[in-house]
Amino acid sequence: QQPVQSPQAVILREGEDAVINCSSSKALYSVHWYRQKHGEAPVFLMILLKGGEQKGHEKISASFNEKKQQSSLYLTASQLSYSGTYFCGTFHTSGGSYIPTFGRGTSLIVHP
Amino acid sequence: DVKVTQSSRYLVKRTGEKVFLECVQDMDHENMFWYRQDPGLGLRLIYFSYDVKMKEKGDIPEGYSVSREKKERFSLILESASTNQTSMYLCASSLDGSYEQYFGPGTRLTVT
**In the predicted structure, residue A68 carries a pLDDT above the cut 80:** yes
Q: Which amino acid is at B41?
A: L
CB contact under 8 A, A100 and B48: yes
Q: What is the mean pLDDT of residues A69-97?
A: 90
From A32's Cα to the closest Cα of chain B, the distance in A is: 7
Using CA coordinates, name the residue in chain B closest to A86.
Answer: B42
Of residues B96 and A35, more confidently modeled = A35
From B14's Cα to the closest Cα of chain A, the distance in A is: 24
Which residues pair with residue B4 across a beta bridge?
A: B25
Q: Mutation test of the interface with chain B: which of A47, A55, A104, A106, choosing the one with the most B Cβ atoms within 10 A?
A: A104
**CA count, 13 A, side-chain hemisphere, B72:** 9
- Distance from C-alpha of A9 to C-alpha of A106, rounded to nearest angstrom: 5
Q: Give the model's confidence band at A50: pLDDT under 50 very low, under 70 low, under 90 confident, else very high.
A: low
Task: Say if CB B67 and CB B77 are below 8 A apart.
Answer: yes
Of residues A95 and B21, more confidently modeled = B21
pLDDT tens readout for residues B27-71? 999 999 999 999 999 999 999 999 998 899 999 999 999 999 999
CB contact under 8 A, A41 and B103: yes
- Distance from C-alpha of B26 to C-alpha of B24, rounded to nearest angstrom: 7
CB–CB contacts below 8 A, A to B: 58
- Distance from C-alpha of B11 to C-alpha of B13, rounded to nearest angstrom: 7
**Mean pLDDT estimate for chain A:** 89
Shortest CA distance to A89 belongs to which of B52, B24, B92, B49? B92
Q: What is the mean pLDDT of residues A46-74?
A: 81
Taking the Cβ of residue B59 and every Cβ of chain A, the question of whether any pair is shorter than 8 Å is answered with yes
Q: Identify all chain A residues contacting B50, using CB atoms and an 8 Å cutoff.
A: 97
Q: How much is the pLDDT for A52?
A: 59
Q: Give the model's confidence band at B2: pLDDT under 50 very low, under 70 low, under 90 confident, else very high.
A: low
- Distance from C-alpha of A28 to C-alpha of A48, rounded to nearest angstrom: 10
Q: Cis link prior to A7 (omega < 30° from 0)?
A: yes
Q: How much is the pLDDT for A97?
A: 79
Of residues B91 and B100, more confidently modeled = B91
Q: How much is the pLDDT for B5?
A: 96
**In the predicted structure, residue A43 carries a pLDDT above the cut 90:** yes
Give percent of chain B above pLDDT 70: 98
Q: Is A25 exposed, middle or buried (0-12, 13-18, 19+ CB in 10 A)?
A: exposed
Q: Give the model's confidence band at A53: pLDDT under 50 very low, under 70 low, under 90 confident, else very high.
A: low
From A83's Cα to the closest Cα of chain B, the distance in A is: 17
